[in-house]
Every structure is written in C-alpha cells, then in structure tokens.
Chain A
Amino acid sequence: MARLTLDHVTKRYGDVVAVDDLSLDITDGEFITLVGPSGCGKSTTIEIVAGLTDATEGSVHIGDRNVTTLPPKDRGVAMVFQNIALFPHMSVFKNVSFGLRLRDYETAEIERRVDRAMEIVQLGGMGDRKPEELSGGQRQRVAIARAIVRNPDVFLMDEPLANLDATLRTHMRTELQRLHKQLDTTVMYVTHDQAEAMTMSDRIAVINDGTIQQFAPPLTCYNEPRNLFVAGFIGSPGMNLFDGTATADGFNSAAVSVSFDHSSDIPHKITLGVRPEDAYLAGSNRAERLSAPSTAINAVVDVIEPMGDEMLVYLLCSDEAAADAESVQLLVSVPPETDVEVDESVQVVFDRSRVHLFETASGAAITHGLDTEITPDTDRP
C-alpha cells in the first residue's frame, strides 16, 4: 500500500512521443484507471510504472521511494496482463508462488500465503492443475492470485479483462471491485473500455496523444468533461456535438440553435454538446417537466434502436431555410414505450441545464449547463 506519483514522465521512441509530460498523483488505496483509445500511451505509462520500459524523462515514486531506475522486481509492484501470462510449464501453485520462491520465503509461509490468495480468488484446491487445464476466467484469477500473494504496494492491471468474453468480463469487473475493497491496495488499471473505467474507478485519467485530458472521478468526467475529447470518449452512446457560432442571443448552427445570455468574452466558434439522455422529444412527459427547455428543434426519425431499458432514436436535423444543407445527426435516448416511427417528423428540446459548451478550436470546455451565468471556465487546460 502506497501512494504512487508520476512526475513529468515523457517517453519518446525516436521522433514519436508516446507519453508527453504526464503527471499523476494517486493516493494510497485509490483505484485509478487510465482510459483512452488504442495508441494513446496508456499501456506505455503503466509499463513505465512497472519498470518494463524506461521513461525518457521524469520520475516515478512509490511511497517515498524513487523507483525510476529500479528494475521491475525491486519496485514492489505486481501486474496482471492482458494475455494473462501464466507460465505454461508450471502448476498453478508454482505460478502463484513464483515470486515468493524467488525471494526465499520459508516453505510453510509460502504455502500459507498461496492458500490465502487462492481462497481470495475462490480457487482453493486447484494448486496442482496446469494453466492449460483451466478456463479463461480461472486463468485470469490465478494471475490475480499471483499478483496479490506478495502483498505489493501497487497493483498494475493492463487490460486484464480484454481477452474474456462479455459475460465473464462483467462478472470479473465486480470481482475486481470486491477484491480492491478487501485488499485496499493502490490500483492502476488500464483499459480502452470507458464502461470499465466508469464502473470500477475512484478516479479516471482520460488519456489522448500521450497527455492527460482529465483526471477526475468518473461522474465528474461524465457530467463536466474538461474538453471535447473527454466529452466524446466518456459515455456510451457518445455525446451529440454540434459545431456552430456564438451569436448575440446564444448558440447558432445550421440545424440546431439554443438561446442563452452570455457575457461578451466567449469565443466566436463554439461547439455545443448534449448527451442523448438530456435531449427529449417535445410533448413527452419528461420534456414537460423541464424547467428551462431549449427552443424546439425540427428533426426526422432516421433509425430506431430498441435497447430494452431505453430506446435510441437517431434523428436527422436540417436547416429548413437551405434545402441542400447537409443534415446533422442527433441521437436521443427515449423511454422504450415511446411511440415513434421511422421517417416521422418530430421536435426535440434540450435540457438547458445539461448542455455543454466548448471552444471549437482548443476543445476546452466553456460551461456545463446554461442556466448559470456564462463566464469562461477558470480551470481550463
């Protein structure tokens, strides 16, 4: 158990910058997730923490030790890999006890610890099996047992659930949360799946192009994304984004306009974002309950996707004034019993308190919610 600090870490491969001046401060016992698209540098970051890759610049501290130049074995970290990486020539017991045996623990102590670790991952009595005799989920649990048996200061998990099937993945997600509660160890978790990041973590570090876009609790990332990248990446289905301009009476684009009062110093080119669940079909019960709905937007139903608990309606909005204008897609999440049909003309309103504004050029958030007075965000990146 320890605090984990990355201080201005940079990794370059020739001219390519994989990780760009990345700093993170993770408190003791915290579960944090690095999330981002493939190639964003999240795996390189976790490898730098593990010591499998050397940082070009910057330092890594675990507890009060500077581990930047230490070999992986001396860092007090344990890692669970995407490809599970059990040693195929060793029994489960030998796999789990590998690190302990290398550190010359007494046989009785090794057996006690392995038994306990195997109990925690609910695989008691499987010690004699070979990895090839286990199912995918069991193998992943053995890998987790191998990681917890040494009581590491920090747990590193590099997409540990990516190779499991969907049902098992959801199950293991819960198991990992339970395990974290039980062990209370600092965890750094890497995934490209924003749903995993949202459900498991205390805080999420959203990474793109080797830099941190936002490092905040999951719901903060969801409700107050700091920039366009976070807004588009976190949440499934993603946020509707419309490029437009700031005019005297609010946001204006070809298909979508939302009026609001604003001070004069907001940028001219702005992007409006609204999540599918914050847009409503005009006339529906939910829309009636809105305290400050936006002006209705005309749209035509394009595709309907019933999901069971909700229904996703893909709408096409276009500017009536210009017939040849390109129509813009708008995704609305509606209750499953809603009565809509493809090609039907509908009107949509946004919950103005849940509308986000971003500066188009830099992507930085200007405001979240239009009811408060619009002043530029002081906390912009």
Chain B
Amino acid sequence: MSTSTPDTEDSGRIERWVTRAIYRPERLYRVLFYVAVFGFLFGTLFPFYWLFVIAVTPRELLGTVGLTPQAFHWQSFVEVFEVVPFHMYVANSIMLAFGTTAIVLVVASLAGYVFGRLEFPGRRPLLLVVLAISYFPPAAFFVPLYRLFAGNISLFGISSPNVLNTPAALLPPFTALFMPLAIFILTTFYAQIPDGLEDAARIEGTTRLGALVRVIIPLSAPGVATVAVLTFIYVYNEFFFSFLMTTGEYTDWSPLVYGIRNYQTQYTQLYNLMGAASLIGVLPVAILVAFAQEKIVSGLTAGALKE
C-alpha cells in the first residue's frame, strides 16, 4: 500500500477485505479451514498416489516416472509375491504385532490399574520414571540388547541364550518401548471409572482382578482399543530393531518392512515392486483402523464416562 496514492482502487480493495476479515472473520476462518484440510489431505494421500504410479510403471520406464502413470503394468502386484515371499513377511509382522499387543495390553492394564486406582507412596514419581523410558531414543537400548540376545552376556558363568532371529529378540524391545505410552493412556482411563462400580463388583463376588476384567476394562473399551491399535500399527511398521535383530529371511522372523527392502539387491532396485508391496502392506492396518475407528476416535478425544 503506497501512502502517496491512498485512493487507488487496489489499496481500497485490500483495505475493504482486511476490514471485513477483522469485523466478520467467519469467512476467513472457513477459507483457512479448507486450506488446512486440503493441505493435510494432500500431504497424506499424495504419497499413496505416487506409490501407485510407481507400482504400475513397468521396470524399463522407471527412470522417467512422472506425475501420471505412463503405462498400467498391474502385474507388479503379482510379481511382488513371486520375487520375494512377501506374504510370509506380512504374516511375520502380523504375528509380532499381535504378540506385542497382547503383552502390552495385559501388563499395561495391570500397571494402569495400580497407577490409576490405588493410592500408595511414590505413585507419581514411579509413573514419571516409567514415562521417562519413552524419552530415550530406541537406538540407546540397541547395543546392550544386542549383546544380551546374541548370548554375549553371562551372569554367574551362565551366558544368555542366543535368541537372535526369533521373536524373543523382537518382542522385548517392542513391548518395552510402547509400554510407557500404553500405561499412561490406560492409567487415565481406569482412573475415571467411579470407585463405586469397582466396590460393587467386589462385593458381588469378584476379586480386584476380576473387577478389572469384568467392569473396568469393558467400560474403558475406547482406551483399550486405542492402545491396542497404536501398538499394533507401531510394531507392524517397525524397522529399526527388526532390521538389526534378524537376517532378513522370512524364516528368521523378519517383518514386512525388511521384506520390502529385499526388492533392492546389489544390482537391481525394483522400485515398482517396492511400491506395490508397500500398498499391499498397508491393507491390513487400513482394515484394522477402519473397524476400530469409532472406538479410537472416542478414545483419543473424550474418554468421559458417565456412571
């Protein structure tokens, strides 16, 4: 805006627009809302589109991938399973994810009950210590864990068993890393269940554990579903520990992401198969989230429970 010509049409239009935005901001808010939503949607969905474009591009055209597919080579989605036994990697990931989720739910439920519903000295400091574990980068735990799982640590002359390439080397770091968040979420949920309900269950004939299983957990279903799905997705997508603790063979419990990496060899880089495999790999999680969505949304946002 030039001060020497304040009456030009341009400055007048901008001033009018600014004045309106200040006194009647609803329209501006709506515009900003759509900008934010579309920006976010583009950021999330474009990679999938891009993966799809790469996946259907024949190998010989991979050097010149554009924004639109140059050919429709759907056979990539079949070759994925022929080049590498990709379904076995998916199966490994699903089993590891289910195993971790089960352990996390059981242990975090017990811990959540204790932190959320019992009064004892040192409760808050202890909860903070548990949470502090999640502040460390996962890499910090790798070297000692690797030595332990490789059988290089001995106590009283007995060396630890070599459990590399088995779930025993993968489940402990997975569960340990996700446990603090799970405990924190479940603590908040279990603390909200009115004491009267637990008392009533105990008088009617359950133990404390029975009251947890029959009353507190069912009433905290959104929280439990949130923890379960977040854990599942985290393990399903995990790469760091599984890459270092396994050989990369599906018989050695290597998971999905390692499987995708196997399309890259010393001389070939099958980007189209990687793209296709990534899209296929997303499916189980997409299905899971679609089913659990309602519970997760209510779990992440509200968690309020009326008695």
A positions within 8 Å CB-CB of B: 50-52, 71-73, 77-79, 81-89, 98-99, 102-103, 132, 146, 150
Q: Which 3 A-B pairs have the closest CB atoms?
A: A85-B196, A99-B204, A102-B205
Question: How far, in Å, is B201 (CB) from chain A's closest CB?
Answer: 7
> Which of chain B's residues has its CB closest to A102's CB?
B205
Residues of B within 8 A of A150 (CB): 204
Q: Are B307 and A77 in contact (CB under 8 A)?
A: no
Question: How far, in Å, is A136 (CB) from chain B's closest CB?
Answer: 12
CA distance A134 to B204 in the complex (A): 21
Question: How far, in Å, is B209 (CB) from chain A's closest CB?
Answer: 11
Q: Are B203 and A52 in contact (CB under 8 A)?
A: yes
CA distance A84 to B306 in the complex (A): 12
Residues of A within 8 A of B194 (CB): 83, 85
Task: Say yes or no for B219: interface residue by CB 8 A criterion.
Answer: yes
Which of the listed residues A51, A83, A85, A102 has the most CB atoms from chain B within 10 Å of its own CB?
A85
The B174-207 residues at the A interface (CB cut-off 8 A) are 194, 196-197, 199-207
Q: Are B200 and A79 in contact (CB under 8 A)?
A: yes
B positions within 8 Å CB-CB of A: 194, 196-197, 199-207, 210, 215, 218-219, 305-307
A52 is contacted by which of B202, B210, B218 (Cβ under 8 Å)? B202
A88 is contacted by which of B205, B206, B210, B306 (Cβ under 8 Å)? B306
CA distance A73 to B306 in the complex (A): 26
Residues of A within 8 A of B202 (CB): 51-52, 71-73
CA distance A85 to B219 in the complex (A): 13
Question: How far, in Å, is B295 (CB) from chain A's closest CB?
Answer: 13
Q: Are A78 and B203 in contact (CB under 8 A)?
A: yes
Residues of A within 8 A of B206 (CB): 73, 102
B307 is contacted by which of A71, A72, A83 (Cβ under 8 Å)? A83
Q: Are B205 and A85 in contact (CB under 8 A)?
A: no
Residues of A within 8 A of B306 (CB): 88, 132
* A/B interface sample: 7 pairs, CB < 8 A: A86-B200, A87-B201, A88-B219, A89-B219, A99-B205, A102-B204, A146-B200
CA distance A245 to B207 in the complex (A): 59
Q: Are B199 and A79 in contact (CB under 8 A)?
A: yes
CA distance A88 to B305 in the complex (A): 10
CA distance A81 to B204 in the complex (A): 12
